């Protein structure tokens, strides 16, 4: 049963309406594909059809969303390390020591959302001294939820200040360092949510949100690949990483190329995912000023809506999405890329990774593979620009092999 016994006998608001089955995943965003997959695979496997209808799904998501909002509002979130590299998130009135740690509770409160959490336990809290004047949730006087994991591995999120820009980054896992750079208009979760957990099993992942994206606010500074590459180098210095493998998707791939050019001593291997190196590397329909959502290889209106919703959920200025979208579009459209001679200077091992229905022409990707001195080419069948890094069954074996796992 989704709920908790508490000292005055009440259950968690909404819990009594949910099916009495073992719920292994709790998801906050009912529109996410992760939510739909987890509900069907983890709940549906333990319950009959009568427990997997839309009504129960809606109650399930509503209950955890309301609980999460209350926990954030009342400042009851804290993290501490768990076994096997897993972190546990404990929610309690009295566990304040971890919450006081730098970048702990404050960071979680700033984000005010997780895409998914998994139950570790639901139990009556141990006796503890009640804090002065506690704020109480509806129908609940004291609540302790043991939560662990997420669709993505639990992160240590923080910021580094670079020339007036507060750059957000997350650390996941342990092992050889691996930098993740997202695409235009995306967040870490949207770009890498499906591959990051597997990568973090064997790597220390440094996931960065570029200027104007996600939790990194935009500032009065023109976008340029040179500045963005330097920003990434500053983050690596901040986290004590001298040299790393880098996976760059789309815009992040462009930044990856410039990072390798400007700071060759900081990179070991490159993955250029859905990345072009000159304007004609895109299909004509992508470059057309008349391109419309959902036409040909263009992202759909649902894609754009999901990107905006993800941005609004975490951005310092939620209403800035249209402005940054226009800024990024104009910036990418102005880029002239690199000459073949300039690309030949990149001597590190490189994987060119695209979908066969990508923005990037297969012929262009093949040319990149020929020009780069130590490159491989992988074309993922049935993958679009938007879906490429979500085709985990095909993409993860390619990444593992290239990154030496």
Q: Quickly count: other Cβ atoms within 10 Å of residue 164's Cβ.
A: 8
Matching residue, tokens 């049935």? 382
Q: What is the mean pLDDT of the chain?
A: 73
Give pLDDT tens digits for 119-137: 222 222 333 333 333 332 3
Q: From 125, 148, 171, give the residue that closes a domain.
A: 148
pTM, two decimal places: 0.66
Position 4 in a domain? no
Q: How far apart are the C-alpha atoms of 229 and 172, rounded to whole Å? A: 21
- Does residue 9 have a pLDDT over 70? no
Rounded to an integer, the average pLDDT of 145-172 is 72
Q: How many domains does the chain have?
A: 2
Q: State residue 294's pLDDT score.
A: 80
Q: How far apart are the C-alpha atoms of 147 and 67, rounded to whole Å? A: 12
% the chain with pLDDT above 70? 61
Q: Containing domain of residue 127, as a range? A: 15-148
Greatest extent of the chain over all pairs of C-alpha atoms, in Å: 73
Residues 109 and 234 in one domain: no
Q: Are 339 and 243 in contact (CB under 8 A)?
A: no
Residues 136 and 162 in one domain: no
Residues 161 and 144 in one domain: no
Q: State residue 250's pLDDT score.
A: 98
Residue 69: pLDDT band by 50, 70, 90 thresholds? low
- Does residue 399 have a pLDDT over 70? yes
Q: State residue 58's pLDDT score.
A: 57
The residues near 126 (Cβ < 8 Å, ≥ 6 apart) are 144
Which alpha helices (H) appear in 177-263, and where do they start and end? 188-192, 196-200, 225-238, 251-262
Question: Any idea which of 59-68, 69-78, 107-116, 193-202 has the lowest mean pLDDT?
Answer: 107-116
Q: From 148, 167, 195, give the residue that closes a domain.
A: 148
> How far are the Cα atoms of 105, 138, 206, 352, 375 from residue 89, in angstroms, in the given order?
10, 22, 21, 38, 42
CATH code of the domain in which 384 resides: 3.40.50.1820
Rounded to an integer, the average pLDDT of 163-173 is 96
DSSP designation for 16: G
Specify the higher pLDDT residue, 157 or 377: 377
- Does residue 362 have a pLDDT over 70? yes
334: Cα within 13 Å, side-chain hemisphere? 10
Q: Write out the H or E segment, with its range, that includes residue 179.
A: strand 177-181
How many degrees, rounded to 5, is the angle at CA 393 between CA 391 and CA 395?
60
Rounded to an integer, the average pLDDT of 305-321 is 95
C-alpha distance across the termini of the chain, in Å = 40
Q: Quickly count: other Cβ atoms within 10 Å of residue 270's Cβ.
A: 27
Specify the higher pLDDT residue, 218 or 62: 218
Q: State residue 296's pLDDT score.
A: 78
Beta strand pairing call for 267-273 and 244-249: parallel
Give pLDDT tens digits for 240-293: 999 999 999 999 999 999 999 999 999 999 999 999 999 999 999 898 877 788
Q: State residue 120's pLDDT score.
A: 25
Q: State residue 66's pLDDT score.
A: 55
Q: Quickly count: other Cβ atoms within 10 Å of residue 262's Cβ.
A: 14
Position 328 in a domain? yes
Question: Any idea which of 152-166, 196-210, 304-318 has the lowest mean pLDDT?
Answer: 152-166
Residues 285 and 389 in one domain: yes
Residues 143 and 161 in one domain: no
Tokens of 150: 């997420």
Q: From 132, 148, 164, give the residue that closes a domain.
A: 148
Residue 74: pLDDT band by 50, 70, 90 thresholds? low
Matching residue, tokens 């606010």? 217
Rounded to an integer, the average pLDDT of 39-59 is 46
Q: Are 116 and 27 in contact (CB under 8 A)?
A: yes
């Amino acid at each position: 049963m989704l709920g908790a016994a508490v000292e005055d006998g009440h259950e968690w608001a909404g819990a009594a309406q949910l099916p009495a089955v073992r719920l292994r995943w709790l998801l906050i965003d009912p529109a996410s594909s992760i939510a739909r997959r987890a509900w069907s695979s983890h709940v549906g496997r333990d319950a009959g059809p009568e427990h997997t209808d839309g009504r129960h799904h809606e109650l399930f998501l509503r209950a955890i969303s309301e609980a999460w909002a209350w926990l954030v509002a009342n400042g009851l979130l804290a993290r501490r390390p768990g076994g096997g590299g897993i972190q546990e998130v404990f929610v309690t009135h009295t566990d304040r020591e971890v919450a006081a740690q730098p970048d702990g509770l404050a960071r979680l409160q700033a984000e005010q959302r997780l895409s998914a959490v998994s139950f570790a336990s639901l139990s009556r809290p141990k006796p503890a001294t009640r804090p002065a004047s506690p704020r109480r949730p509806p129908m609940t006087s004291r609540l302790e939820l043991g939560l662990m994991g997420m669709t993505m591995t639990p992160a240590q999120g923080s910021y580094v200040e670079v020339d007036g820009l507060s750059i957000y980054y997350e650390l996941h896992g342990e092992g050889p360092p691996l930098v993740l750079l997202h695409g235009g208009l995306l967040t870490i979760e949207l770009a890498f949510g499906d591959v990051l957990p597997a990568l973090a099993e064997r790597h220390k992942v440094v996931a960065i949100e570029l200027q104007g994206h996600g939790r990194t606010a935009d500032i009065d500074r023109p976008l340029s690949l040179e500045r963005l590459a330097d920003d990434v180098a500053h983050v690596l210095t901040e986290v004590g990483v001298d040299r790393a493998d880098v996976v760059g998707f789309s815009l992040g791939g462009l930044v990856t190329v410039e990072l390798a050019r400007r700071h060759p001593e900081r990179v070991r291997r490159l993955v250029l995912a859905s990345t072009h190196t000159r304007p004609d590397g895109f299909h004509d329909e992508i470059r057309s000023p008349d391109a419309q959502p959902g036409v040909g290889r263009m992202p759909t209106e649902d894609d754009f809506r999901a990107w905006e919703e993800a941005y609004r959920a975490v951005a310092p200025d939620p209403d800035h999405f249209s402005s940054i979208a226009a800024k990024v579009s104009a910036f990418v459209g102005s880029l002239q890329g690199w000459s073949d001679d300039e690309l030949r200077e990149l001597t590190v091992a490189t994987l060119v990774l695209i979908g066969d229905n990508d923005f990037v022409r297969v012929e262009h990707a093949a040319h990149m593979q020929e020009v780069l001195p130590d490159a491989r080419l992988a074309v993922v069948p049935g993958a679009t620009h938007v879906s490429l890094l979500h085709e985990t069954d095909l993409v993860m074996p390619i990444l593992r092999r290239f990154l030496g796992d």
